[in-house]
Amino acid sequence: MTYKPLHIRINCEINFFSGKGIPSGIRTIVLRGNSITSIEAISNLNSLEELDLRANQFSVIDKRMFSGPKSLTFLDLGYNNITFVEENAFASLGSLQSLLLDGNQLAFLHKGMFRKLTCLTFLSLRNNVIHFAETSAFSDLSALERLDISENQLTQVEQGTFKGLAKLTTLLVNGNNLSIIPPSAFVELKNLKFINLCDNYITEMAPLLFINLSISRNCHI
Domains detected in the chain: 1-101 (3.80.10.10), 106-116+126-221 (3.80.10.10)
Assign 60 to helix, strand or coil: strand
For residues 148-161, average pLDDT: 92
The pTM for the full model equals 0.90
Q: Specify whether the CB–CB gap between 185 and 158 falls below 8 A.
A: yes
Choose among 116, 160, 170, 112: nearest CA to 142.
116
Choose among 44, 46, 55, 49: nearest CA to 98.
49
pLDDT tier at 216 (50, 70, 90 boundaries)?
A: very low
pLDDT of residue 3: 37
C-alpha gyration radius of the chain: 19
Structure confidence by residue, pLDDT tens digits, 20-59: 888 888 999 999 999 999 998 788 888 999 999 999 999 9
Report the DSSP pairing between strands 74-76 and 98-100: parallel
Q: Specify whether the CB–CB gap between 163 and 135 falls below 8 A.
A: yes
pLDDT tier at 181 (50, 70, 90 boundaries)?
A: confident
CA dist., res. 36 & res. 103, Å (int)? 16
